[in-house]
Amino acid sequence: MTSDHEIRVCVPLNEKSFSALTAAAKSASHVADIIEFRLDGLDPNELSDTKVNDLVHAIQKSIILTYRPREQGGYRSLTIQDRMSFWQRNFKSDAAFFDIELDLVHNLVHLDSENQPDWSRVICSFHDFNGSVANLEAVYEELAFTPARILKIAVTATDILDCVDVFKLNERARREGRELIAIVMGDAGVATRVLGPSYGSFLTYAALKPATGTAPGQLTTDDLKSVYRIHEIDNETMITGLVGRPVMHSVSPHMHNAAFQAVHINGVYLPFDVRNVEQFFKRMVHPRTRELNWNLRGLSVTAPHKVEVMNYLDWIDPSAKAIGAVNTIVLENEQLLGYNTDCEGLVEPLLKRVGALDDARVAVIGAGGAANAAVYALREQKAEVTLYARDESKGRILAERFNILYEALSNANFAGKDVVINTTPLGSFGDHINETPATSQQLRGSRLVYDLVYNPTETLLLREARDAGCETLGGLEMLVAQARQQFKFWTQSNVSSELI
């Protein structure tokens, strides 16, 4: 079944001059269904009503005009009189839509009819950049009470759970025959940007380039169209995604979405930035309790949630139980099934590099979910494993579970080790990018250093390892190997290593 709703991608443009706006609009016209001109971003001496209409006529696309005050996400300090004056002069323009904030709409409705806008072209908008809003239903009803044709609500996510009420509003608007744009801003709101139109949202926003976004969490047009294939998403699309915090650095959406396209499956893979795991599973995931009517099929799980998710599953594979961590969830017959594909993913590229691991002396750094999987997999391969961890209590507990040696990481010396494996986030994109769990001095005398961090591909640890004369192996090969297994669990389809 295809979606009964048109999918529209709007590209907002913010430039300081009309010439720059015109150039950007010509680029955007190749990828946008609608273009929004953020006129509040123009230098004040550039703002000319004649230029506004000339710009609208120059672009063969539907145009939204916006003139937003700073406190509502705009780029200039504007009084309500400034905004009223601007709109009174520009309601005669040939733009398809005028995005007007709710507070100003309250003023406009009291004017004489000849001074009011054509309400069939008005988007009445509400923005909140301070976090979740307590009662979005009340905001929706206040917007709906105005004569505006299209309603818009954009709120800021503090957690992915903020998406629930926004998806519900889209469903309500569809039932009531209202046109609504509903967006959750921020990393935790990405799902509303990708799935919103298939839920009935009038449009979704995307930036022309990463640096030109006009709101937190805004994806690029290339992301929406090429990675997530937004124009192919409908009510039956199989939804999968990555549960973690943070998740926006992950390359998993690129891999899994490419795989869906390659095997011609109507599916999409999304990043889910989750803070409250228990409530996420209750309100958004478990078929018996979730509040969303969506075709959720499976989830990948990454740090820091691989252990906690086990509390909310109906069944866990025995090997995942033995590992003590789950990285793959399948929804089947209204049950949540937990697996761990990290073991196979970790071992596959390692065996290609070193051959058999029988009696190999392996150091594992870390004591989290990935360390559990690494130790389990290495023990299955008959390796001789020693664990090193910053957190001594966690390290000793894990070592006792698997009956392996434990040593403190602070003064570790890895000379004589065949393999040193980093399972910690040290070196990963973000706050940890300039950190390493071991120095070249500590690594000197070991054969191979295997960093499970895959973004960036060149971590500080790998550079230290090369300085120490070690062979190196990055985490991307493991990511690909475990992802192939996940994809097979969800779809019963095999994909080649070139695709995922």
The C-alpha atoms of residue 121 and residue 92 are separated, in whole angstroms, by: 11
Question: For residue 330, how many other CB atoms are within 10 A of its CB?
Answer: 19
Nearest Cα residue to 237 out of 225, 248, 229: 229
Q: What spatial distance separates the first Cα and last Cα of the chain, rounded to whole Å?
A: 27
The C-alpha atoms of residue 475 and residue 479 are separated, in whole angstroms, by: 6
The reply to whether 417 belongs to the active site is no
SS3 state of residue 227: helix
> Is 255:480 a contact under the CB 8 Å cutoff?
yes
The C-alpha atoms of residue 370 and residue 301 are separated, in whole angstroms, by: 11
Question: For residue 112, how many other CB atoms are within 10 A of its CB?
Answer: 6
The C-alpha atoms of residue 281 and residue 311 are separated, in whole angstroms, by: 10
The C-alpha atoms of residue 85 and residue 104 are separated, in whole angstroms, by: 11
The C-alpha atoms of residue 331 and residue 42 are separated, in whole angstroms, by: 50
Alpha helices in 355-439 (DSSP H): 369-380, 392-402
The encoded tokens of residue 446 equal 């070991």
> Is 204:196 a contact under the CB 8 Å cutoff?
yes
Q: Of 51, 306, 394, 417, which residue is the catalytic one?
A: 306
323 torsion bin: left (phi>0), alpha (psi -120 to 50), beta (else) = alpha
The C-alpha atoms of residue 449 and residue 259 are separated, in whole angstroms, by: 30
> Is 129:156 a contact under the CB 8 Å cutoff?
yes
Nearest Cα residue to 446 out of 364, 331, 335: 364
Q: What is the CA radius of gyration of the chain?
A: 26
**Would you list the DSSP string of 438-452?**
S-HHHHTT-SEEEE-
Catalytic residues: 306
